[in-house]
Amino acid sequence: MKYLSTLLFIVFSFSAFAQTDTIKRKLPTRYRTDLPTKPKQEKPYGTMVSPKETMPRYPGCEDMESNEADKKSCADQKMLEFIYENICYPDSARENGIEGTVVISFVVEKDGTISNPKIIRAIGGSCEEELMRVVRMFPKFIPGEYMDKKVRVQINLPIRFRLE
């Protein structure tokens, strides 16, 4: 009898506390049904939702009568040609047999100028200084655009130094 009365007391006390806790607690906003809901706006058929983005490009391919992807690949090719025409393999790297990839980061400003060049990955042998010198020689880029406004864009450029 003693165990039965203790068991009944425990069961009733749990149910009493559980009832008072759930009554006093407010549901989070996302679960409440008494709040007014916004009507869903339907999108017209065939409209684009994503904004127009354009990455900055090296100059020289503006006269092409093709799509943006072809212009971008042409600009990339012209930029690599400029780098490889103007870069000189440093003597200290050549003597020590240093090869590898140097990664430089720079910002193309709204007017197309280059700012904030900094080395992200170095290999030594003065290769970083040589790449920094060439990047500072870049002509003005065609600036990037976001939603038809010119914006600053950071670019990471890997250049491989290889002895032949």
Q: Tens of pLDDT along 34-81?
A: 556 666 555 555 444 445 688 899 998 888 888 888 888 999 999 999
| Extended beta strands in 51-123, E state | 53-54, 100-108, 114-121
What stretches of 25-156 show up as alpha helix (H) in DSSP?
68-86, 91-96, 127-136
How many residues would you count in the chain?
Answer: 164
Element (H, E) at 97: none
Give me the amino acid identity at 12.
F
Smallest CA-to-CA distance from 112 within 33, 71, 55 is with 55
Task: Write down the pLDDT at residue 46.
Answer: 46
Q: Which tokens sit at 98?
A: 């240093």
Task: Write down the pLDDT at residue 49.
Answer: 43
Over 80: is that where the pLDDT of 23 sits? no
Task: Write down the pLDDT at residue 96.
Answer: 92
Task: Write down the pLDDT at residue 58.
Answer: 92
Smallest CA-to-CA distance from 156 within 108, 113, 123 is with 108
Smallest CA-to-CA distance from 86 within 138, 15, 44, 124 is with 138
| 35 vs 163: which has the higher pLDDT | 163
Share of the chain above pLDDT 90, in %: 52
Task: Write down the pLDDT at residue 48.
Answer: 46
Q: Which tokens sit at 28?
A: 């989070």
Distance CA 161, CA 97 (A): 10
Residue ranges of domains in the chain, CATH in brackets = 53-161 (3.30.2420)
Question: Band of the pLDDT at 102, cuts 50, 70, 90?
Answer: very high
User: Of 33-37, 103-107, 142-146, which one has max mean pLDDT?
Assistant: 103-107
Task: Write down the pLDDT at residue 95.
Answer: 92
Q: Is 87 within 8 Å of 67 (Cβ atoms)?
A: no
